[in-house]
């Protein structure tokens, strides 16, 4: 074995930067899951009767459903009775940011998400979700001037019940899969956004998710509706403290794009990945789906996945409107004993619809990284096209990269293209960079960033550099 192989082999357990906990008084529901839990959450949130009924229906689905068996890893045993389904900071969030608990402001400051509007990244409105509830949403008034609604899910239920009722569960129905059913039954908060006809949302909308409490799950729901001819760019980020036990995060995201509307949804996922032996970490079981409901609509998913001990998510697009466009750009980096089984579904229903999938997997350590994607062109979807490029990069020789493409084309005038590559970081590349004064760790980070640049370039500018840094930090200790 050459010297470089040794360098690539030696794995260190570097610090997870966001592993601190916040000490704050919490209102926590007792552990356990039954109809009363669902009623408890709904009551806590003062929800209308229709929503409680919707939740209870979902809960009945949940009881009948089984764990998926098709994924490329052994499904961990979930004890749904051993989780608390509701945890909220005790001090109520009030009307203005001045009234947010300083402890919470401090927490988000540490995470690099100042909630003080003066200090915010200009042009980004943030909804900050701490465990089960939204603690603050910034720039609401400014957005309201243009008719843009951006608030926590709980507020949306109260203030815009018609919109919520109209779209909730229309893209990801409660019976879609067991985690979606669970979420529908017990979701506690999340973000809601509505962009009215013809409005180009003047700033990036963003939700920042933080799990803090012990033995809790986080079940948030995001619903984004872009009306005719509107545009919105949305970003979510996530972190959690380092804890020895696993924490379940089962979110649902629904996107609706009407005629000629465009939604750009970006995720930088950095949940605690567990330690080097695979102890602890977040189970990230998320259902994300968008529908291009109208003609000429466009939905674009971009994700940078570096955290979680298990990532199970397939942000998808249903291309219902004619001439609609779906995109999926993904970088998934796994190391130590992390598992990622991620990809997308592009369901072509309308005519002349286009989809594009660019997936970049990076595996290091003992990790397993799978791309799973479905491209389905239905019989009436004439003149449609899909292009898929799916690349895997291996660092060291104990990790795995897997590709599971499912391709189905029922219309002879439509075209599907699939390209896949697997490569290793060449020792020659590392030596070349070494010879220019760059150490092996930085060299690998540079090579990986270069490899992922096609996807990273799709992120909003403010976050692209963050994501590059995150990739470099996540690799820290994977080499040298």
Partner 1 sequence: MLQIKDLQARVEDKEILKGINLEIKPGEVHAIMGPNGSGKSTLASVLAGHPGFEVTGGQVLFEGQDLLDLKPEERAREGLFLAFQYPVEIPGVSNMTFLKTALEEIRAHNGLPAFSAKEFMKLLREKQDLVEFNTSLVNRSVNEGFSGGEKKRNEILQLAMLNPKLAILDETDSGLDIDALRIVAGGVNKLRSSENAFLVITHYQRLLDYIVPDVVHILSGGKIIKSGPKELALELEEKGYDWLREVETTE
Q: Which of 14, 374, 389, 453 binds partner 1 (CB under 8 A)?
A: 453
CA 337 centroid distance within chain: 20
Q: Which is nearer to partner 1, 65 or 472 (CB)?
A: 472
Shortest Cβ 72–partner 1 spacing (Å) = 27
Residue 144 interacting with partner 1 (CB under 8 A):
no
Closest to partner 1 by CB, 77 or 428: 428
- Give the residue, chosen from 102, 112, 379, 450, that forms a contact with partner 1 under the rule CB under 8 A: 450
**Contact between residue 84 and residue 30 where contact means Cβ atoms under 8 Å apart:** yes
Phi, psi of 339 (to 5 degrees): -130, 130
We find the least distance from the C-beta atom of residue 39 to partner 1, in angstroms, to be 52
Q: Is residue 436 part of the contact set for partner 1 (CB under 8 A)? A: yes
Considering only residues 389 through 428, tell me which ones interact with partner 1, judged by CB under 8 A.
426-428
Residues with Cβ < 8 Å from 477, sequence gap 6 or more?
A: 11, 12, 13, 14
Nearby residues of 279 by Cβ (< 8 Å), 6 or more positions away:
244
* Residue 68 touching partner 1 (CB under 8 A): no
Q: Minimum distance from CB of 336 to partner 1 (Å)? A: 25
Nearer to partner 1 among residue 1 and residue 162 (C-beta): 1
Number of neighbouring beta carbons within 10 Å of residue 422:
14
Closer CB to partner 1, 306 or 324, in the complex: 306
Name which of 24 and 472 has its Cβ closer to partner 1.
472
Q: Output 303 or 323, the one with its CB closest to partner 1.
A: 303
N- to C-terminal Cα separation, the chain: 15
Q: Is 70 left (phi over 0), alpha (psi -120 to 50) or beta?
A: alpha
Give the nearest distance from C-beta 475 to partner 1 in angstroms.
15
Residue 99 Cβ, how far from partner 1 at the closest point, in Å? 41
Q: Which residue has the tokens 């972190």?
A: 239
Stretch that binds partner 1, among 23-31, 131-139, 298-306, 438-446 (CB under 8 A): 438-446
81-120 burial, b for 16+ CB within 10 Å, e for fewer? eebbbbbbbebebeeebeebbeebbebbeebebbbeeeeb
Among 64, 69, 122, 435, binds partner 1 (CB under 8 A): 435
CB atoms within 10 A of CB 2: 8
Total of chain residues touching partner 1, rule CB under 8 A: 26
Q: What distance in Å separates the CA atoms of residue 387 and residue 105, rounded to the nearest whole number?
A: 44
**Should residue 96 be labelled a site residue for partner 1 when binding is judged by CB under 8 A?**
no
**Antiparallel, parallel or unpaired: β 281-292 and 246-249:** parallel
Closest separation in Å from C-beta 451 to partner 1: 6
Q: Is residue 472 part of the contact set for partner 1 (CB under 8 A)?
A: no
Residue 451 contacts partner 1 per CB under 8 A: yes
Q: How far is the CB of 425 from partner 1 (least distance, A)?
A: 10
Tell me which residue of 218, 198, 204 sits closest to 138, measured CA to CA: 204
Is residue 9 involved in binding partner 1 (CB under 8 A)?
A: no
Dihedral sign of CA atoms 344, 255, 232, 375 in order: positive
User: Which is closer to partner 1, CB of 97 or CB of 433?
Assistant: 433
Q: In the set 65, 97, 420, 438, which binds partner 1 (CB under 8 A)?
A: 438
| Least Å from the CB of residue 442 to partner 1 | 7
Do residues 117 and 139 touch, judged by C-beta distance below 8 A?
A: yes
Cβ pair 166, 152 in contact under 8 A: no
Measuring CA to CA, which residue among 466, 147, 173 is closest to residue 302?
466
Residue 436 CB, nearest approach to partner 1 (Å): 4
The only residue of 454, 462, 472, 473 in contact with partner 1, by rule CB under 8 A: 454
426: β partners: none
Q: Of 3, 90, 166, 424, which lies in the binding site for partner 1, with binding defined by CB under 8 A?
A: 3
* 109 touches partner 1 (CB under 8 A): no
Burial class of 341 by CB neighbour count within 10 A (0 to 12, 13 to 18, 19+): buried
Using rule CB under 8 A, residue 434 touches partner 1: yes
Q: How far is the CB of 432 from partner 1 (least distance, A)?
A: 4
With 0-12 / 13-18 / 19 or more C-beta atoms within 10 angstroms meaning exposed / middle / buried, residue 430 is buried
Binding flags for partner 1, 159-198, as an x/- string (CB under 8 A): ----------------------------------------
Which residues in this chain contact partner 1 in the complex, by CB under 8 A?
2-4, 426-429, 431-440, 442, 446-447, 449-454
């Amino acid at each position: 074995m050459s010297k470089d192989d040794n360098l690539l082999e030696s794995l260190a357990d570097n610090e997870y930067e966001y592993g601190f906990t916040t000490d704050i008084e919490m209102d926590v529901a007792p552990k356990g899951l039954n109809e009363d839990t669902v009623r408890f959450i709904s009551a806590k949130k003062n929800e209308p009767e229709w929503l409680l009924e919707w939740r209870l229906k979902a809960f009945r689905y949940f009881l009948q459903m089984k764990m998926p068996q098709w994924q490329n890893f052994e499904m961990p045993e979930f004890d749904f009775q051993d989780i608390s389904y509701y945890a909220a900071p005790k001090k109520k969030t009030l009307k203005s940011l001045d009234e947010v608990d300083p402890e919470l402001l401090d927490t988000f400051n540490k995470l690099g998400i100042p909630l003080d509007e003066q200090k915010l990244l200009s042009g980004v409105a943030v909804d900050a979700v701490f465990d089960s509830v939204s603690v603050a949403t910034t720039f609401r008034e400014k957005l309201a001037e243009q008719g843009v609604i951006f608030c926590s899910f709980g507020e949306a239920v109260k203030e815009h019940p018609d919109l919520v009722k109209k779209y909730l569960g229309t893209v990801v129905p409660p019976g879609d899969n067991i985690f979606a059913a669970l979420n529908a039954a017990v979701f506690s908060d999340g973000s809601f956004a509505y962009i009215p006809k013809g409005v180009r949302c003047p700033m990036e909308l963003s939700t920042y998710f933080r799990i803090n409490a012990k033995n809790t799950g986080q079940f948030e729901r995001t619903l984004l509706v872009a009306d005719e001819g509107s545009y919105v760019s949305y970003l979510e980020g996530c972190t959690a403290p380092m804890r020895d036990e696993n924490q379940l995060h089962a979110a649902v995201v629904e996107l609706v794009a009407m005629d000629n509307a465009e939604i750009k949804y970006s995720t930088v996922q950095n949940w605690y990945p567990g330690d080097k032996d695979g102890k602890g970490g977040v189970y990230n079981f998320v259902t994300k789906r968008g529908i291009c409901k109208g003609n000429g609509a466009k939905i674009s998913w971009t994700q940078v996945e570096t955290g979680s001990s298990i990532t199970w998510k397939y942000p998808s697009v249903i291309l219902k409107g004619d001439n609609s466009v779906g995109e999926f750009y993904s970088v998934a980096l796994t190391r130590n004993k992390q598992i990622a089984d991620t990809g997308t579904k592009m369901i072509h229903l309308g005519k002349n619809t286009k989809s594009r999938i660019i997936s970049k997997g990076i595996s290091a350590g003992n990790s397993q990284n799978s791309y799973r994607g479905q491209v389905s062109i239905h019989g009436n979807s004439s003149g449609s096209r899909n292009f898929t490029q799916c690349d895997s990069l291996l660092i060291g020789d104990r990790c795995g990269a897997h590709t599971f493409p499912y391709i189905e084309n029922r219309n002879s005038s439509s075209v599907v293209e699939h390209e896949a590559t697997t490569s290793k970081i060449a020792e020659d590349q590392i030596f070349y960079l070494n010879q220019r004064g760059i150490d092996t760790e930085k060299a690998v980070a540079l090579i990986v960033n270069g490899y992922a640049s096609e996807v990273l370039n799709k992120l909003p500018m403010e976050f692209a550099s963050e994501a590059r840094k995150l990739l470099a930090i996540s690799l820290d200790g994977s080499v040298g």
